[in-house]
Amino acid sequence: AGEELHADFKLGAGGEYLGLIKPDGRTVSHHYVMKYPKQRDDVSYGVPVDWKPDADSATSVIGNTVFFLKPTPGAPNGSVLNGTVAKLAFSQPHGLYDEPFDLTISTETPGVTLRYTTDGSVPTIDSGTVLEGGLLKMEKTTVLRVAGFKPGFKPTKVVTRTYLFPKDIVRQSPDGLPPNGFPYEWGFNYVDYGMDQRVVNDKRYKDRIFDGLRSLPSYSLVMEMDDLFDEESGIFANAKNDGREWERSCSLEMISPDGESGFQENCGVRIRGGFSRMSPNAKHAFRFFFRSEYGPAKLQYPVFGKDAAQEFDNIDLRTFSNYSWSLSDDPRCTFMRDQFNRDMQFSLGQSTARGHYCHLYINGHYWGLFNVVERPEASFGATYFKGKQDDFDVIKIGRGKGKGEGNTQYGLFATDGSLDAWERFWKICKAGLESDAAYQRILGNNPDGTRNPDYEVFLDVDNLIDYMLVIFYGGNLDAPITAFGANRSANNWYGIRNRNGDEGFRYYVWDAEHTFLKLDENRTGPYPAGDEYARSNPQWIWQQCLHNAEFRQAVADRLHKHFYNGGALTPESIATLLNKRVNELRLAVICESARWGKPSPYSWSPPDRKGGDRRPRTLDDDWLPEVDRWFNEFIPRRSDIVIDQLAEHGLVPDLEPARLAKRGGLIQAGFELEMSAARGEVYYTLDGSDPRLVGGKISPVAKKYTEPVRLDKTFVVKTRVLFEGEWSAIDELPFKVEGEKITETLKK
């Protein structure tokens, strides 16, 4: 009882022929002539009957086919649907406002009763305040949920609009005590609410805090209070619980600071994360799921810009737990560690989960700074690589169902697809990759490097190398091998692979908070984690690959590309990249300082914002000094340190690459390019191919440099130096003839 009823056939929503046949298999009891009309979500369609317990329904038809107000599977057809209440119109969009205004809410359907709430609850035909005259005075921060009802009509969907007034946001709960409807405590600590007036009134910030609230998009989470904070069923009060049973319905809005419309969608929400789920943490992270049971099946909005995904099954709002103010009161807090590591991976030319920052409000109460991030799962693969969601295996370490594990175990598991290909890959690597035959096998190649269509591709060489360079540069202590488990366990990594067999696993930097700490941190290993399948990870794959000379040559090539000549991992490039995030966050940090600059972590004491010696963390006293350490101490020296660490593994060739008189760019037709080498001979190509063949022989299309090379059209010049059987790293430079139109994509 209570379960959904299912038939062994499907009907088209757009309409088609449908008949009801009597048990004799021939007689048509009823049918829809031609076809039934287009159907509506959550609305049934059929024949109205005058039903009696002893009546023959076939003889009790009292009218033509109609839509019904409520579906009644297993019971007589119910009340006839006379129509649907037209959608609601608001005179003002959601947004940030400085002055009060009159808000008019209307619908084109006459005789509709509008009901609204301002506490996050869902208005129903029996609950919520009746809106008389369709007019509300908006003069303070308000989360408005409205629906329209009319007898015999399908009501409107519940529409949520958040109106933010920065002037009252900065005065929310100035004593740190809960606003109306919020609990005083949960977990193991009293909760610190509102805005610390010592920050709000600080002469350095009293004007800039308003700019800070407008400096980022504002996300508004609106939902039933009990679904958040109830001791038994609330997701915030039971943050360690996971899975679909701990997903609750909500409204999510994105309010753009530049006046764009943003979005509002009804969706599902869960608590996400690992360490941040701990009970003393009052600033949990969220994952939002877009499903047809709540609203649209996908979020259709360019959350991360027009050059990124345009639709989403889910998005994350990540918090900051390690090195944060809100949980650990750590002076090293920058809010940038995780996001900036992903920025670095993207700057190396690899795909990565996009992200930006936002302010979050929960039922209108300011909840601080969060990181909005897309998830590298099957939908991500289908968006950025050719294929459908069902084509992808997504492997990670985390909470989920792994091989031989329960649903909430922490370990290796597939969020999409299966672990089968990953296990095959691991077994080949476990057997050893020193020989060219074994190494080329995981590339889907014959021993000479030519493609063998009978072999699966498991390894994307450039992706693995670039991923590990980001790990090494940041000195990542917790991914993909964790130092907190004596380097015997894996953690915080994602891998995606299309099962077409022609693409290798791509790895994604994830949860990279334990980075940018010690200047001389060395995470190059080797480490034991991965020798057992259950602890397999990308760094162990890297370690196995290092036994092969071809892979070591590829590492040397990527090092030269990224660590020299203005590459992405040179100090200048890293500083430029970081500066973009610093400028994005600078003003917003003032708001986070007011909200979470002096929390009461792990404490049974009420928040104290007036007495005591402990000052709140601030932009100038705490955040900027740590950012300056990155700029002035870490970044200027870190690149050379990483190169030295990798040189100890024999990954930096002693042989210098070729020296070119001009390092690419615009040229005049007929330009003569000069090359030289400190020792050895220079070999070059102009067709995009490598002068070196697999195994170390000279490519038949490569030319030895003997005189300046005349460039009459656009070329990508690739060079290597050969000396006594040893090759330098490759150098790759594009030259474009001024005024020439490029009709073909240059080979990389």
Tokens linked to 451: 């493609």
Q: What is the C-alpha to C-alpha distance for residues 557 and 405, in angstroms, rounded to an integer?
A: 41
65 lies in the same domain as 154: no
Count structural domains, the chain: 5
Please give the mean pLDDT across all residues of the chain: 90
User: Which pLDDT tens digit goes with each residue over 217-270?
Assistant: 999 999 999 999 998 999 998 999 989 999 999 999 999 998 889 999 999 999
pLDDT of 408 over the 60 cut = no
Does residue 45 belong to any structural domain of this protein? Answer: yes
Q: What stretch of H or E contains 625?
A: helix 624-629
Going by DSSP bridges, is the β-strand pair 159-164/95-96 parallel, antiparallel, or unpaired?
parallel
Q: Does 462 have pLDDT greater than 70?
A: yes
The conformation of residue 444, written as its DSSP 8-state character, comes to T
Same domain assignment for residues 22 and 142: no
Query: Which pLDDT score, from 0 to 100, does residue 58 have?
Result: 41
* Averaged pLDDT for residues 468-496: 97
pLDDT of amino acid 574: 99
pLDDT bin (cut points 50, 70, 90) of residue 455 is: very high
Q: Whose CA is closest to 240, among 278, 184, 269? A: 278
**Confidence class of residue 506 from pLDDT cuts 50, 70 and 90?**
very high
- Mean pLDDT value of segment 506-521: 98
Rounded mean pLDDT of 297-305?
Answer: 97
Read off the tokens for 116: 């609204």
Identify the domain boundary among 146, 164, 182: 164
Q: What is the pLDDT of residue 185?
A: 80
- Judge if 120 and 211 occupy the same domain: no
For 360, counting Cβ atoms within 10 Å of its Cβ (0-12 exposed, 13-18 middle, 19+ buried), the class is buried
19, 138: one domain: no
Q: End of a domain among 27, 47, 81?
A: 81
**Whose structure tokens read 């399948």?**
533
Q: What is the mean pLDDT of residues 149-168?
A: 96
- Tally of CB atoms within 10 A around 584: 15
475 within domain boundaries: yes
At 280 the pLDDT is 75
pLDDT bracket for residue 24 (50, 70, 90): confident
In a domain, 632, yes or no: no
pLDDT band for position 22 (cuts 50, 70, 90) = confident
Q: What is the DSSP string of 711-731?
A: E-S-EEEEEEEEETTEE---E
Residue-wise burial string across 190-209, b where 16 or more C-beta atoms lie within 10 A, e elsewhere = bbbbbbbbbbbebeebeebb
Same domain, 21 and 46: yes
Q: Per the domain annotation, does 644 fall within a domain?
A: no
pLDDT digits (tens, 9 = 90+) for 714-739: 999 999 999 999 999 999 999 999 98
Q: How confident is the model at residue 131 (pLDDT cuts 50, 70, 90)?
A: very high
Residue 622 DSSP label: I
Same domain, 541 and 591: no
Block residue for tokens 């038994």:
232
pLDDT of residue 740: 81
Tokens of 365: 């109460």
Q: Express each pLDDT in 561-620 by its tens digit.
A: 999 999 999 999 999 999 999 999 999 999 999 999 986 544 445 556 565 557 899 999
Question: Which residue has better confidence, 398 or 260?
Answer: 260
686 is a domain residue = yes
pLDDT tens per residue, range 170-228: 999 999 889 999 998 876 666 789 999 999 999 999 999 999 999 999 999 999 999 99
Task: Compute the distance between CA of residue 139 and CA of residue 102 in angstroms, rounded to an integer.
Answer: 9
Other Cβ atoms within 10 Å of 661 Cβ, number: 11
Contacts of 52 (CB under 8 A, 6+ apart): 60
Q: Percentage of the chain surpassing pLDDT 70?
A: 87
List all residues 6 or more positions away from 306 whose beta carbon is below 8 Å from its beta carbon.
none
Question: What is the extent of the structural domain holding 302?
Answer: 168-374+586-617
Predicted local distance difference test score (pLDDT) of residue 327: 87
CATH number for the domain harbouring residue 111: 2.60.40
Q: Are residues 260 and 188 in the same domain?
A: yes
Please write the tens of the pLDDT for every residue from 328-347: 889 999 999 999 999 999 99
CA distances to 15, 71, 83, 84 from 40, in Å: 11, 12, 11, 10
Evaluate whether 554 touches 562 at the Cβ level (below 8 Å).
no
From residue 327, alpha-carbon distances to 175, 229, 275 in Å are: 19, 19, 11
pLDDT tens for 366-389 read: 999 999 999 999 999 999 998 999
Read off the tokens for 362: 């929960």
**How confident is the model at residue 3, as a pLDDT?**
47
Tens of pLDDT, residue by residue over 55-76, are: 444 444 455 665 655 666 766 6
Regarding whether 186 and 228 lie in a shared domain, the answer is yes
Q: Poorest-confidence range of 187-196, 221-230, 523-532, 685-694? A: 187-196
Residues 212, 102, single domain; the answer is: no
Q: Given 137, 164, 191, which residue is the final one in a domain? A: 164
Name the pTM for this structure: 0.89
What does the alpha-carbon distance between residue 618 and residue 641 come to, in Å, rounded to a whole number? 32
Query: 232 lies in a domain?
Result: yes
Q: What's the CA gap between 675 and 657, in Å, rounded?
A: 10
* pLDDT for res 704: 98
Q: Pick the residue with more confidence: 747 or 650? A: 650
- Looking only at the bridges linking them, the beta strands covering 218-222 and 355-362 are parallel
DSSP letters for 252-318: EEEE-TTS---EEEEEEEEEE-SGGGSTT-SS-EEEEE--TTTS-SSEES-TT-TTS-SEESEEEEE
| pLDDT-based confidence at residue 746 (cuts at 50, 70, 90) | very low
Q: Are both 458 and 351 inside the same structural domain?
A: no
Q: Both 174 and 248 in a single domain?
A: yes
| Residue 748 covered by a domain | no
Name the residue among 426, 423, 400, 422 with its Cα closest to residue 413: 400
Torsion angle of alpha carbons 13, 16, 17, 20, nearest 10°? 0
Chain Cα centroid distance, residue 620:
30
Judged on CB neighbours under 10 Å (0-12, 13-18, 19+), 259 is exposed
Is residue 73 situated within a structural domain?
yes
Angle at CA 295, nearest 5°, toward 291 and 297?
A: 40
Same domain, 492 and 395: yes
